[in-house]
Amino acid sequence: MLRQYKLKDYDFKLILCVIALSVIGVLAIGSAKNELLSRQILGMGAGIFIMLLLSFIDYSFILYFYWFLYFANIILLLVVTLFGININGAQRWVNILGIQFQPSESAKILLILFFAQFIMKYREELNTVKFLVFSALLLSVPLLLVYTQPNLSTSIVIVVVFCSLLFVGGLSYKIVLGVLAVIVPIVTIIFVIVLQPDQQLIEPYQAKRILSWLQPDKYADTTAYQQLNSITAIGSGQLWGKGLNNNVIASVKNGNFISEPQNDFIYAIIGEELGFVGAVSCIILVLFIVLECINVARQAKDLAGSIIASGMASLIGFQSFVNMAVATGIAPTTGIPFPFVSYGLTSLMSLYAGIGIVLNIRLQSKKY
């Protein structure tokens, strides 16, 4: 389980980038909602401890229990369904020993670990219908439990990450192109149906978010309100921003024009208070983290290691893009947190755990 590693093989670049991004998040959260600052700092400290601990545990040992990880994930999601805490119409949290926990966030990491081992074990059958159908069935159980919370945004993230895992595992380009040829028209048709006033495919509030994104002026006082204010906040920051914890009267944050700014719209706080420099710094750090995870994947000792590191790259990259896209009006409003930046201890510590495993993959990488 524990092995001897060389310090020179430790990926300090990845650690520094992750911690730097987390520090920006802590500063932004402290400015957005100061009473949450101490909890985020505590979560960051616990996350770093988990990351360092997992970085020295052989990931092959962890993957040996891949079926246990899968069923533990299902049980946690079932607990949410049966005994979860309902907040603002969504039942996504469960209270464990006085600690509020969101299993849908840890589910992303657990599914990456499970499918990494599953794909490696059956890689010879990866491009068969039997394997793909069985994999889809295995994914559908946790996916359905997450979707019915309801949590459409996390469901989309899980599907995107799953597709990236199959691709890295060796899915044939012919299958990829064939699926795209079918999926693209279907998604287009679904999108058109969703825009109809009497549609039944998604919840009314979800359809309204899409409509407000397409016609922001029409919904400026309702569902488009936060997104328009977010765009205004980012633009008003100009080059250097208005400064953290400022008392500027014209501040969008100080005027409380964005609700829950510490979560989905944390990038608006960064743009307004740290300006273009702060906003671009976040993009650069995310890019470095993603590229470093891909580099680790390229040098991994086995396919499972490559899949895990690539899965973390796709998870962090996709979530970051969507969060920033929402804050800047490029995508419809959705509840996807900014990795390592948005407030949320479950998300933060789960991501640190994933990075810890990536660090261990790097320690065992092939030597050229």
Q: What secondary structure does DSSP assign to 139-198, as a single string?
A: HHHHHHHHHTTT-HHHHHHHHHHHHHHHHHHT--HHHHHHHHHHHHHHHHHHHHHHTSTT
Q: Encode pLDDT of 170-187 as tens digits.
A: 999 888 888 888 888 888
Residue 367: band (very low, low, confident or very high) from pLDDT cuts 50, 70, 90: low
What per-residue confidence (pLDDT) applies to 317? 97
What per-residue confidence (pLDDT) applies to 5? 77
What per-residue confidence (pLDDT) applies to 193? 80
Q: What is the mean pLDDT of residues 143-149?
A: 93
Q: Encode pLDDT of 205-224 as tens digits.
A: 777 888 788 888 888 878 88
φ, ψ dihedrals at 98, nearest 5°: 85, 0
Q: Encode pLDDT of 100-123 as tens digits.
A: 889 999 999 999 999 999 999 999
Please tell me the distance from the alpha carbon of residue 291 to that of residue 196, in angstroms, as a whole number: 41
* Max Cα-Cα span within the chain: 63
What per-residue confidence (pLDDT) applies to 12? 95
341 has pLDDT over 80? yes
The encoded tokens of residue 216 equal 């922001």
Name the average pLDDT for the chain: 90
Q: Encode pLDDT of 293-332 as tens digits.
A: 999 999 999 999 999 999 999 999 999 999 999 999 998 8
What per-residue confidence (pLDDT) applies to 368? 47
Q: Which of 112, 90, 93, 96 is nearest to 104 (CA)?
A: 93
Residue 54: band (very low, low, confident or very high) from pLDDT cuts 50, 70, 90: very high
244-258 burial code (b ≥16 CB/10 A, e <16): eeeeeeebbbeeebb
Least confident of 3-7, 80-84, 176-180, 254-258: 3-7
Going from the C-alpha of 315 to that of each of 109, 218, 312, the distances in angstroms are 9, 33, 5
199 has pLDDT over 90? no
Cβ–Cβ contacts within 10 Å for residue 65, how many? 13
Residue 251: band (very low, low, confident or very high) from pLDDT cuts 50, 70, 90: confident
What per-residue confidence (pLDDT) applies to 191? 76
What per-residue confidence (pLDDT) applies to 304? 97
Sign of the Cα pseudo-torsion (6, 7, 12, 13, in order): negative
